[in-house]
Structure 1
Amino acid sequence: MYLADRSAPSPADTGTPPDRGSLRTPAVTSAVLALGTVSLITDVSSEMVTAVLPLYLIAGLGLSPLGFGALDGLYNGVSALVQLTGGHLADRVRNHKLIAGIGYGLSALCKPLLLFAHSLGPISVILALERTGKGLRTAPRDAMISLSTPAELQGRAFGVHRAMDTTGALLGPLAAFLVLSMAVDGYDAVFGVSACVAVLGVVVLVLFVPSGGGAAVPPRPADGGGAARPDPVRLRDAMALLRLPRLRALALCAVMLGLTTVSDAFVYLLLQRRTGIGEQWFPLLPLGTAAVFLLLAVPAGALADRIGRRTVFLTGHALLLAGYGLLLWAPDWPPLPYLVLALHGMFYAATDGVLPAAVAATVPGRLRATGLALVGTGQALARFGCSLAFGAAWSLWGTGPALAAAAAGLLCCAAVAGLVLRPAAPEDGPVLPEPDPDPEPDPDPERDPERDPAPDPKPVRPSV
């Protein structure tokens, strides 16, 4: 699916049979709220660590910007590689909650290990394992959100989930700031509290998230009256998704834009150096991004459902480019940190939930987690490469030229994405259909299809 400038897809786009009762389905299901609560709690835990990690590694352990870029890339790149495994496993075993639970559990297990790691090597291994857990859970979680929500409301549903997730991202740095200000061994105290909160998130997942993910679409009945058992998902089915031109377009644009998206940690470090913010206030910088994200995630998702995901998605990257411009060329005036953080948060509100909502409408339900993982993996690997390249450019050229190169690349990639993500023409073809075990025979086998077309042809499935 292209991020077309039109409203959300019809039920046919996702294989959902039309049902008048679905119009009365609530915009936010209980599964979305439960998953949002789990993400909120888990993000409090994760962002407590993320908020202090750059300062801990660079100021505490003396890591160079290039070394931090490599570690930050590892921190995000490992989860990208594991996303494909998590997505395929979730579709194959048909138990998205199980795979997501394993991912949340592994991340929670790694948090207390940071208490015993005080050198770069052990910290790198622990962070890699923690990101493995994130990679396992991301695609199954997003699949549960999309499968439990009508297609025309998925932008709003992802917006609600991202808003709850961002509430945790808002509370995490605040908790880290409070712990650092009160505890003697500040960093160890942050890691210990983070571990306890992570365990709570796993408990909420086990107790309150429906085992089936709250899927709103019932199984298609077979001719005999029972539920048709779907074919098992195989690896070649997952690879067949790459033949979908619309999914390839989304993956290509996610990779291109990811290659020019400077990581959050670098943005906060650049902002601190540009404005002279004290080290004690550094953990609070993510709060500005998270607060704006929290306020705008739901409106941005609803707007994308209404006016088109392409427009909202590209606007988000334009806002990020404006933030880079302020860091590069704006004068040193008091509102500068607030403006940069506001633009950073608006970028995430316009892209973080819109992209998975677009991907979810391109693939059938039985391969939903795999399709989400394909695009998410490409984007995360691209950001891994950007972290390495930006860290090297910072070390070689300095902050100004490195950020200017990233801004120029983002401008070019956004222009190309605007062309690639144009609305699809009907002749581009429908999305990959669900397998049909009992296709309807031609009612008139003597009919010449070239001179006498079928009386009731199936309509071409519209693009989203």
Structure 2
Amino acid sequence: MYVTLRDRPAGSRRAGGPLPRVSATVVLLGTVSLLTDVSSEMVASVLPLYLTAMVGLAPIAYGVLDGLYQGVSAMVRIAGGYLGDRGQHPKWIAVTGYAASALSRLAMLPAAGFAAITAVVTADRLGKGLRTAPRDALIAAASPPEALGRAFGVHRALDTAGAALGPLVAFALLLLVPGGYDSIFVVSFAFAVAGLAVLVLYVPGLPTAARADRPGPRQVLTEIGGRRLRRPLLAAALLGVLTIGDGFLYLALHSRDDLAARYFPLLYVGTNIAYLALAVPLGRLADRVGRGRVLVAGHLALLGGYLIAALPGGSLGLTLTVLLLLGCFYAATDGVLAALVSQLVTAGARGSGIAAAQTTVALARFAASVLFGLVWTIQGPQRALLLFAALLAVAVPVAGWLLRGVDRPAPTAGDAHLHQAPA
């Protein structure tokens, strides 16, 4: 992997030439995400067990909260993407979102009870929804079309390094201070502030030369609702409504294997290590063989995770296999979906297009969490996992059919000036 620290977009490479380098913007945004994910995953990794074992929430109640965690950001994702496109200042829209999430860490200190925690989680996820599409638009603007998968893979690898470190920090704090959730929230806030500082001080905004004509609402709606995005968004919704939150899988493993509470955050670490190892290789693979194909294959890994987690007898090997498959799923879908969508819209509507895909996935996963929590409450975790596995086995080939031939870039010259000589 070649990474340059000079802040110029990587250019298109000549046939048979070396891979274009990843720009400083991508690396810096990855650093912001690394620090922010240490913060967010410190809290997220203890929340499922805390809410079910200590607060006493039933699975259906946890399903609602997990659905909010997955889906409430959908309320502002399109707004964040559109504001970044319209104002041509996606950096500052992202700053607002990161700041909101940072403040929510401190708000966890006085929060007590389901309603207060729900309000804090909602504020955190609204911040995430506001920042994600503008950040991804900056990544896409700094990367050549043929290396989008690789650029997003590098960013997601740094992001996931933070996601792996966060649960480890939480685990260490709980070992030092048993039941010390307030310590987790304070340290989490410190990491969030550090990430925000890197974004404000070091990440450049969208270069003037890279700014497209400001799109109006009609142009954005035309692109989002157009034929090029219709099938990818439908496929994303179909697969997303059968994708349950990590917390449910981890709770199923915890229940089956009788895992000690202090080790619960380590399940997140295992998944994120697998994600970290696979993000860049699968991003490169997506650039070569097609992003739609890799996206669908990632859901086959998720299907395998469901089936193994549903087995009645557990072992360390089976648990590690579930974590590996879940990490593979994220590496094959997260940045790959953003890369896929960013090539299907013009530069002026890039943030809005990415936001539309992310909103679709977030809303679908909100529904998945609530439905899965309901089935778990009625039938138990094993039958709930088997039901979702069966439905996902049907949905995967349908999504594959919907995504056939979608890896063709949008026919526009508007992006030509974004990609200069290799740095």
Q: Given that residues 309 and 322 in structure 2 are in contact (C-alpha distance below 8 angstroms), is that contact kept between their aligned partners in structure 1?
A: yes
Instruction: Give the distance between the partners of 1:417 and 1:56, measured in 2 at CA.
Output: 36
Q: Paired residue for 1:415, among 393, 397, 400? A: 397
Determine the structure 2 residue equivalent to 1:356: 338
Deviation at 1:355, TM superposition (A): 0.9
Q: Given that residues 174 and 283 in structure 1 are in contact (C-alpha distance below 8 angstroms), is that contact kept between their aligned partners in structure 2?
A: yes
Determine the structure 2 residue equivalent to 1:43: 37
Map 1:95-174 → 2, pairs under 5 A? 95-174=89-168
Determine the structure 1 residue equivalent to 2:372: 390
Name the SS of the counterpart of 1:287 in structure 2: helix
Q: Given that residues 356 and 372 in structure 1 are in contact (C-alpha distance below 8 angstroms), is that contact kept between their aligned partners in structure 2?
A: yes
Map 1:56-455 → 2, pairs under 5 A? 56-183=50-177, 185-212=179-206, 218-219=209-210, 231-329=213-311, 331-423=313-405, 431=410, 433=412
Instruction: Give the distance between the partners of 1:326 and 1:167, measured in 2 at CA.
Output: 25
Amino acid at match of 2:63: G
Deviation at 1:196, TM superposition (A): 1.0
1:49-88 per-position Cα deviation (integer Å, ceiling 9, x unaligned) = 0000011111111111110100111122111121011001
Amino acid at match of 1:148: A
Q: Given that residues 292 and 406 in structure 2 are in contact (C-alpha distance below 8 angstroms), is that contact kept between their aligned partners in structure 1?
A: no
Query: 2:74 matched to 1:55?
Result: no
Amino acid at match of 2:122: A
Instruction: Give the distance between the partners of 2:367 and 2:181, measured in 1 at CA.
Output: 28
Q: Given that residues 256 and 413 in structure 1 are in contact (C-alpha distance below 8 angstroms), is that contact kept between their aligned partners in structure 2?
A: yes
- Provide TM-score, normalisation by structure 1: 0.83
Amino acid at match of 2:197: V
Deviation at 1:182, TM superposition (A): 0.8
Amino acid at match of 1:254: A
Q: Given that residues 244 and 432 in structure 1 are in contact (C-alpha distance below 8 angstroms), is that contact kept between their aligned partners in structure 2?
A: no
Amino acid at match of 2:277: L
Instruction: Give the distance between the partners of 2:407 and 2:26, measured in 1 at CA.
Output: 33
Q: Given that residues 159 and 297 in structure 1 are in contact (C-alpha distance below 8 angstroms), is that contact kept between their aligned partners in structure 2?
A: yes
Q: Cα 1:128–1:432, aligned 2, differ >3 Å: closer, same or farther?
A: farther
1:379-402 per-position Cα deviation (integer Å, ceiling 9, x unaligned) = 110000000000111111111221
Amino acid at match of 2:297: T
Instruction: Give the distance between the partners of 1:395 and 1:39, measured in 2 at CA.
Output: 35
Q: Cα 1:82–1:180, aligned 2, differ >3 Å: closer, same or farther?
A: same
Name the SS of the counterpart of 1:353 in structure 2: helix
Deviation at 1:408, TM superposition (A): 1.2
Deviation at 1:232, TM superposition (A): 3.0
Instruction: Give the distance between the partners of 1:321 and 1:435, measured in 2 at CA.
Output: 39
1:178-205 per-position Cα deviation (integer Å, ceiling 9, x unaligned) = 1111125511111111011111110010
Q: Given that residues 394 and 402 in structure 1 are in contact (C-alpha distance below 8 angstroms), is that contact kept between their aligned partners in structure 2?
A: yes
Q: Cα 1:424–1:186, aligned 2, differ >3 Å: closer, same or farther?
A: closer
Instruction: Give the distance between the partners of 1:264 and 1:59, measured in 2 at CA.
Output: 17
Structure 1, unpaired ranges of 5+: 1-15, 220-228, 437-464
Instruction: Give the distance between the partners of 2:77 and 2:300, measured in 1 at CA.
Output: 27
Instruction: Give the distance between the partners of 2:19 and 2:150, measured in 1 at CA.
Output: 13
Deviation at 1:289, TM superposition (A): 0.4
Instruction: Give the distance between the partners of 2:274 and 2:156, measured in 1 at CA.
Output: 12
Instruction: Give the distance between the partners of 1:262 and 1:372, measured in 2 at CA.
Output: 21
How many residues in Structure 1 have an aligned counterpart in Structure 2?
405
Determine the structure 2 residue equivalent to 1:458: none
Name the SS of the counterpart of 1:37 in structure 2: helix
Q: Given that residues 12 and 145 in structure 2 are in contact (C-alpha distance below 8 angstroms), is that contact kept between their aligned partners in structure 1?
A: no
- Provide TM-score, normalisation by structure 2: 0.91
Higher helix share: 2
Instruction: Give the distance between the partners of 1:198 and 1:425, measured in 2 at CA.
Output: 36
Q: Given that residues 152 and 336 in structure 2 are in contact (C-alpha distance below 8 angstroms), is that contact kept between their aligned partners in structure 1?
A: yes
Determine the structure 2 residue equivalent to 1:27: 21
Q: Given that residues 106 and 186 in structure 2 are in contact (C-alpha distance below 8 angstroms), is that contact kept between their aligned partners in structure 1?
A: yes
Instruction: Give the distance between the partners of 1:243 and 1:340, measured in 2 at CA.
Output: 37
Q: Cα 1:243–1:114, aligned 2, differ >3 Å: closer, same or farther?
A: closer
Instruction: Give the distance between the partners of 2:352 and 2:14, measured in 1 at CA.
Output: 29
Runs of 4+ in 1 over 6 A off after TM superposition: 16-21
Instruction: Give the distance between the partners of 1:20 and 1:425, measured in 2 at CA.
Output: 20
Q: Given that residues 12 and 20 in structure 2 are in contact (C-alpha distance below 8 angstroms), is that contact kept between their aligned partners in structure 1?
A: no
Q: Given that residues 244 and 431 in structure 1 are in contact (C-alpha distance below 8 angstroms), is that contact kept between their aligned partners in structure 2?
A: no
Instruction: Give the distance between the partners of 1:48 and 1:424, measured in 2 at CA.
Output: 37
Q: Given that residues 25 and 150 in structure 1 are in contact (C-alpha distance below 8 angstroms), is that contact kept between their aligned partners in structure 2?
A: no
Q: Cα 1:88–1:432, aligned 2, differ >3 Å: closer, same or farther?
A: farther
Q: Given that residues 166 and 290 in structure 1 are in contact (C-alpha distance below 8 angstroms), is that contact kept between their aligned partners in structure 2?
A: yes
Rg larger in structure: 1
Deviation at 1:246, TM superposition (A): 2.5
Amino acid at match of 1:291: I
Q: Given that residues 139 and 372 in structure 1 are in contact (C-alpha distance below 8 angstroms), is that contact kept between their aligned partners in structure 2?
A: yes
